[in-house]
Amino acid sequence: MTERFYTEETTFLGIPGPVEVHPRVMQAMNKHLYGHRTDHFREIISECGELFKPTIQTAQEVYFLAGSGSLGLHAGISNLVDRSDTVLNLSSGKFGERVIEITKRFTDRQVSLTKEYGQAIKPEDVKVALENNPETTLVTMTHNETSTSVLNPLPEISRIVHDHGALLMADCITSAGGDEVRMDEWGIDFFVSGSQKCYGVPAGLAFVSFSEAAAQKMEGVSRDQDYYTDLLMFREKYSKNHDTPFTPAVSLIYGLRESLRIIEEEGMENRIARHRKMGKLYRSAMRALGVDLLAEEGYYSNTVTASLFPDGVDPKRFMQACLDLGLLAAGGQGSLKNRIWRLGHMNVVGPREVLGFVSVVEYALRKAGHEFEPGTGVGAVLKGL
Ligand SMILES: Cc1ncc(COP(=O)(O)O)c(C=O)c1O
């Protein structure tokens, strides 16, 4: 193709968020606005709260902050960390690095356990890091590291953190709502996610929830740390009357309610199975095409896949060829720039979309200099369906 037929309006969002949004969610947001200090809105917020809980298997309340996912990360650190606290940040990619940056703003006693891009954080490494830093009060981790497409072993790490007597904060921004997250059973003390990933709502909402142990810690943290993200204030307002301390992102909340209804209709277990299957199908196509994955085997993300450009492939030509066929893929961040491309398989992505992704990837790889029998990747997907 020489001319670009697909425009920004019709190009499919294959990036790992913001993702394609279900038409019902778009329609729900296009609703007449009403006051948020009304019983009408309080009912909507409390329906969101109740529908959200089963998506992460928690009995705790969930708060919907007006901001992107990073606001939730900021809220976790600002509420749980005093200047005197030692925080161990586990990092295996760009988003783990972001939490390190946030943590440094709140304590000078920040320590990190970092892994090479593509590697997962291993529970035994966490054990050693905690032994070396026995005064640690909080451990943070990224469940699904979107920059490398690694799914870190959260339940196993959580056990070690709790044996040590520390709290665990988990960035579940690209796992929750698509992959399995069991907040209470796994012992996540502070949960963070965001609207524009597996929950399938436009960007602008951060989701947070926390355990009783985390709430107790918050009580003791100096309250002059932060105002806008004071979660005890959120909790107090919500428990009194399903209110929020500040004006909530009303239209996004309408969209969230619709998306959570869609998730309930699909069933969370079915949704998790679908995301896992789509990840598996896409990876099988990459293997068939002779494309290596960045993530270490056994720790593959179910919601995003990072693939290494084969030798001789021109990354710019590849990305442009994807766009020419109407697919917006993501590149690599930092040192992974021009080494990988990433496609998200979240929210509305089903077999039709994966077949489409793989067809486009085949086209783009051939345009960019990789040789193989056309249809090889698509064939692998079809065989796995
Ligand atoms: C794992 C993870 N953490 C944090 C973020 C940052 O979220 P936001 O861009 O919504 O602030 C992202 C965004 O892609 C992410 O994937």
Residue 224 has pLDDT above 90, yes or no: no
- State the DSSP string of 12-24: EE-SSSS----HH
pLDDT of res. 223: 76
Across all residues in the chain, what is the average pLDDT?
97
360, 369 in Cβ contact below 8 A? no
Residue 1 has pLDDT above 90, yes or no: no
Cβ of 179 below 6 Å from ligand 1: no
pLDDT of res. 2: 53
Q: Does domain 23-264 have CATH number 3.40.50.300?
A: no
Atom of ligand 1 nearest to the CA of 95: 3
Mean pLDDT of 104-111: 96
Residue whose C-alpha is closest to residue 193's, from 120, 201, 319, 320: 201
Distance CA 301, CA 275 (A): 10
Distance CA 69, CA 209 (A): 13
Inter-CA distances, 111 with 62, 200, 265, 296, Å: 29, 34, 43, 24
What is the CATH T-level fold of the domain 12-16+268-384, as seen in this structure? Aspartate Aminotransferase, domain 1 (3.90.1150)
Q: What is the pLDDT of residues 225-279, one digit of tens each?
A: 789 999 999 999 999 999 999 999 999 999 999 999 999 999 999 999 999 999 9
* Domain span(s) for CATH 3.90.1150.10 in the chain: 12-16+268-384
Inter-CA distances, 304 with 125, 157, 300, 347, Å: 25, 22, 9, 11
pLDDT of res. 222: 87
pLDDT of res. 4: 80
Q: Report the residue among 70, 101, 140 best suited for mutation to probe ligand 1: largest number of ligand atoms under 8 A from its CB.
A: 70
Distance CA 216, CA 220 (A): 7
Ligand 1 centroid distance, CA of 152 (Å): 16
Token output for 330: 């993501």
Q: What is the pLDDT of residues 280-339, one digit of tens each?
A: 999 999 999 999 999 999 999 999 999 999 999 999 999 999 999 999 999 999 999 999
* Domain span(s) for CATH 3.40.640.10 in the chain: 23-264
Residue ID of nearest Cα to ligand 1 atom 3? 95
Cβ of 107 below 6 Å from ligand 1: no
Q: What is the pLDDT of residues 150-171, one digit of tens each?
A: 999 999 999 999 999 999 999 9
Q: What is the pLDDT of residues 45-90, one digit of tens each?
A: 999 999 999 999 999 999 999 999 999 999 999 999 999 999 999 9
